[in-house]
Amino acid sequence: MDAERTEIGTIGEFGLIAEITKDIKLQSPRTVVGVGDDAAVLAATEEGKRTVVSTDLLCEGVHFNLMYSPLKHLGYKAIVVNLSDICAMNARPTQVVVGLALSNRFSVEATKELYSGIRLACERYKVDLVGGDTTSSQSGLMISVTALGEVSEHSTCLRSGAKPGELLVASGELGSAFMGLQVLEREKHVFEEAPGAQPDLSGYEVLLERQLKPEARVDIVEELEKLEIVPTSMIDISDGLASEALHIAASSGCGVRIYEEKIPMNDQMYETARAFNLDPTLCTLSGGEDYELLFTVPQERFEDIRNHPMFSIVGHMTDDPEERKLITRNGMEAELKAQGWDSFNEEG
């Protein structure tokens, strides 16, 4: 895995922690004490500001495959997927704590590589790494991240605030991360059947970047603030557009209609899906790992959104909670179904 290899046992748990935390720079004025004590200490929130908290667990063999996820990318992604949850509340991420369980396959160098990605994401998003736990595992790598963020009371977006008639809006483009994973899986199979074969990844850069190094849409949270738009509901798209739209609909007691022709996709995703014999629309609906934001706004905000390059109006909410429809390009109505990733079923 690396040229130099230092066993973690030779420097011990405290030595490893010292090694991986020595370069941490705190950025938030609210962070009073970061790593190194029993707990991190954060100054009181500003008046009117709430704290949001989200946690995720990433497990080797379930959420990532070390065969094609470089450790630095993996560390970066582990942070980003949590920040995305914070963004989904219309909040700004402020701090993270990270738990790592490492098997003895991992060297000190590999752990530092993983941490370099964690730190890079923290720097990129101006988030403080304020605590953690590092331990051994009997098998496999596990990364647990808990992220904190701040949002004013007025701006807080839950999943449950959508109302009938409101516009359903997605940021960015969908389906690329999923197609990136398909490309990586294909190359893995090629490699397994002919070890030594060089992976053929050219032409798939956008897709691979979206899969291996996704970004959290803090910029969307900032843009919404600039536009003085507080979405009535919001969620991040981690399990595919269909699953997330259904979450908003169910939480809000509304129906939902999505228009196939309005779903944002880029050419590389579209072409690759066709070449892989996959339906591009299905990739956006069920693919997942986009980490874009999906939100609802009142119809009055139509003009602010319709030509904005960051946003696509993909559908609208309806008053019948039983209605969950995809309107296809040829005008047919199909039932919108969540076929998002479910780790327990995949495993079973």
Looking at residues 63 to 82 of the shown chain, list those that interact with a second copy (rule: CB under 8 A): 63
The C-alpha atoms of residue 320 and residue 337 are separated, in whole angstroms, by 16
- Which DSSP category does 202 fall into? T
- Decide if 148 contacts 93 (C-beta within 8 A): yes
Q: Does residue 254 bind a second copy (CB under 8 A)? A: no
Binding mask 143-162 for a second copy (x = CB under 8 A): -x-xxxx-x-x--x-xxx--
How far apart are CB 149 and a second copy at their closest, in Å?
A: 7
The C-alpha atoms of residue 217 and residue 222 are separated, in whole angstroms, by 9
Output the six-digit token pair for 71: 């450790």
Binding mask 220-249 for a second copy (x = CB under 8 A): --------------xxx-------------
Q: Does residue 14 bind a second copy (CB under 8 A)? A: yes
Helix, strand, or coil (residue 143): strand
Q: Does residue 17 bind a second copy (CB under 8 A)? A: no
Other residues' Cβ atoms within 10 Å of the Cβ of residue 207: 25
The C-alpha atoms of residue 24 and residue 57 are separated, in whole angstroms, by 22
Q: Does residue 88 bind a second copy (CB under 8 A)? A: yes
- Restricting to residues 176-215, name those near a second copy by CB under 8 A: none
DSSP 295-320: EEE-GGGHHHHHT-TTEEEEEEEES-
Q: Does residue 55 bind a second copy (CB under 8 A)? A: yes
Q: Does residue 132 bind a second copy (CB under 8 A)? A: yes
Q: Does residue 91 bind a second copy (CB under 8 A)? A: yes
Alpha carbon distances (Å) from 247 to 63, 234, 268: 21, 10, 28
Q: Does residue 37 bind a second copy (CB under 8 A)? A: yes
At position 87, the amino acid (one-letter code) is C
- Restricting to residues 323-342, name those near a second copy by CB under 8 A: 342
Q: Does residue 46 bind a second copy (CB under 8 A)? A: yes
Q: Does residue 347 bind a second copy (CB under 8 A)? A: yes
Q: Does residue 49 bind a second copy (CB under 8 A)? A: yes
Binding range to a second copy, per CB under 8 A, among 98-106, 187-195, 283-291, 309-317: 98-106
Output the six-digit token pair for 271: 């072409």
Binding range to a second copy, per CB under 8 A, among 8-16, 169-177, 185-193, 205-213: 8-16
Output the six-digit token pair for 45: 């929130």
